Amino acid sequence: MASQLPRRIIKETQRLLADPVPGISANPDESNARYFHVMIAGPDDSPFAGGVFKLELFLPEEYPMAAPKVRFMTKIYHPNIDKLGRICLDILKDKWSPALQIRTVLLSIQALLSAPNPEDPLATDVAEQWKTNEAEAIKTAKQWTLSYAQA
Amino acid sequence: MSNEVTVVLQDRKTGQRRNYTINVNNNENILELTKSVEKITKIPSEELEVVFCGKKLSKSTIMKDLSLTPATQIMLLRPNSVVKTATSSSKFQTTDSSILGSFYVWCKSCDDVRRGKLRVYCQNCESTSVLVKAEPQNWMDVLKSKRIPVTCENCCRPGLYAEFKFKCLTCNDLAAALTHVRGNWQMAECCICDGKEKIIFDLGCNHISCQSCFKDYLLSTLQEFHFKNRPPYGFTVSCVYPECNRVVQDVHHFHVMGQSSYSEYQRKATERLIAIDDEGVTCPNPSCGQSFFWEPYDDDGRSQCPDCFYTFCRKCTERDCVCQSEDDLTRTTIEATTRRCPKCNVATERNGGCAHIHCTSCGMDWCFKCVTEWKEECQWDHWFN
Contact between chains at B384 and A124 (C-beta distance less than 8 A): yes
- β B160-168/B112-122 pair status: antiparallel
Q: Closest-CA residue in chain A for B226?
A: A94
**Whole-angstrom distance, CA of residue B68 vs CA of residue A101:** 47
In this prediction, residue A101 has a pLDDT band, given cuts at 50, 70 and 90, of: very high
Q: Which of B93, B96, B94, B150 is nearest to B120 (CA)?
A: B150
Angle value at C-alpha B193, between B187 and B197, nearest 5 degrees: 30
**Whole-angstrom distance, CA of residue A73 vs CA of residue A89:** 16
Angle value at C-alpha A16, between A10 and A21, nearest 5 degrees: 160
The reported pLDDT for the residue numbered B181 is 95
ipTM over 0.85: no
Strand order in the sheet with A35-41: A24-28, A35-41, A52-58, A69-72
Query: Is B220 an interface residue toward A (CB < 8 Å)?
Result: yes
Per-residue pLDDT tens over the stretch B185-234: 888 999 999 889 999 999 999 999 999 999 999 999 999 888 988 888 98
Select the residue from B189, B190, B191, B215 to test the A interface by mutation, using most A Cβ atoms within 10 A: B191
Query: Is B232 an interface residue toward A (CB < 8 Å)?
Result: no
Residues B292, B306: contact at Cβ < 8 Å? Answer: yes
Q: Closest-CA residue in chain B for A62?
A: B220
Does residue B323 carry a pLDDT above 50?
A: yes
Does residue B91 carry a pLDDT above 60?
A: no
Flag whether A121 is in a domain. yes
Contact between chains at B213 and A98 (C-beta distance less than 8 A): yes
User: What number of other Cβ atoms are within 10 A of residue B372's Cβ?
Assistant: 11
Query: Is B379 an interface residue toward A (CB < 8 Å)?
Result: yes
The reported pLDDT for the residue numbered B26 is 82
- β A35-41/B338-340 pair status: unpaired
Contact between chains at A91 and B217 (C-beta distance less than 8 A): no
Residues B21, B5: contact at Cβ < 8 Å? Answer: yes
Query: Is B224 an interface residue toward A (CB < 8 Å)?
Result: no
- Our measurement of the distance from residue B49's CA atom to the centroid of its chain's CA atoms, rounded to an integer in Å, reads 34
The reported pLDDT for the residue numbered B107 is 95
| Domain CATH number, residue A98 | 3.10.110.10
**Whole-angstrom distance, CA of residue B265 vs CA of residue B251:** 10
Backbone angles phi, psi at B130, to 5 degrees: -125, 155
Q: What single letter denotes the amino acid at residue A119?
A: E
Flag whether A62 is in a domain. yes
Q: Which residues contact B109 (CB under 8 A, 6 or more apart)?
A: B168, B171, B173
Among the partner-chain residues A6, A11, A100, the one whose CB lies closest to the CB of B242 is: A100
The reported pLDDT for the residue numbered B326 is 56
Per-residue pLDDT tens over the stretch B262-314: 999 999 998 888 877 777 888 888 888 788 888 776 678 888 888 888 888 88
The reported pLDDT for the residue numbered B325 is 64
Select the residue from A10, A97, A125 to test the B interface by mutation, using most B Cβ atoms within 10 A: A97
Distance to chain B for A114, nearest Cα, Å = 22
Q: Distance between the two ends of chain A, CA-based, in angstroms?
A: 31
**Whole-angstrom distance, CA of residue B66 vs CA of residue B73:** 11
Counted domains in chain A: 1
Per-residue pLDDT tens over the stretch B109-123: 999 999 998 889 999
Query: Which residues form the domain of A109?
Result: 7-149
**Whole-angstrom distance, CA of residue A143 vs CA of residue A146:** 5
Select the residue from B189, B194, B227, B237 to test the A interface by mutation, using most A Cβ atoms within 10 A: B194
Flag whether A120 is in a domain. yes
**Of residues A117 and B385, which shows the higher confidence score?**
A117
**Whole-angstrom distance, CA of residue A13 vs CA of residue B131:** 58
Flag whether A59 is in a domain. yes
- Annotated catalytic sites of A, by residue? 88
Q: Which residues contact B199 (CB under 8 A, 6 or more apart)?
A: B104, B113, B181, B182, B183, B184, B210, B211
- Mark out chain A residues that contact chain B at CB-CB < 8 A: 6-8, 11, 62, 64-66, 91, 94-95, 97-100, 119, 121, 124
Among the partner-chain residues B192, B219, B379, the one whose CB lies closest to the CB of A64 is: B192
Mean pLDDT of chain B: 84
Q: Is B354 known to be catalytic?
A: yes
Residues B241, B207: contact at Cβ < 8 Å? Answer: yes
Contact between chains at A99 and B193 (C-beta distance less than 8 A): no
Flag whether A117 is in a domain. yes
Q: What single letter denotes the amino acid at residue B71?
A: A
Contact between chains at B194 and A8 (C-beta distance less than 8 A): yes
Per-residue pLDDT tens over the stretch B145-157: 889 999 888 888 8
CB pairs under 8 A between A and B: 40
Mean pLDDT of chain A: 90
Residues B185, B208: contact at Cβ < 8 Å? Answer: no
3-class secondary-structure state, position B145: coil
Does residue B125 carry a pLDDT above 70?
A: yes
The secondary element (H helix, E strand) that includes residue B269 is: helix B259-275
Contact between chains at B358 and A94 (C-beta distance less than 8 A): yes
Q: Closest-CA residue in chain A for B190?
A: A99
- Please state whether the peptide bond connecting residue B232 to the residue before it is cis, i.e. omega within 30 degrees of 0: yes
The reported pLDDT for the residue numbered B306 is 85
Contacting residues of A for B203, CB less than 8 Å apart: none
Residues B280, B293: contact at Cβ < 8 Å? Answer: yes
Residues 339-358 in B contacting A (C-alpha not used; CB under 8 Å): 358
Flag whether A1 is in a domain. no
The reported pLDDT for the residue numbered B218 is 96
Residues B265, B257: contact at Cβ < 8 Å? Answer: yes
Q: How many helices (H) and strands (E) does chain A have?
A: 4, 4
B87-93 long-range Cβ contacts below 8 angstroms, 24+ apart: B88/B49, B89/B49, B89/B56, B89/B58, B92/B55, B92/B56, B92/B131, B92/B132, B93/B55, B93/B56, B93/B58
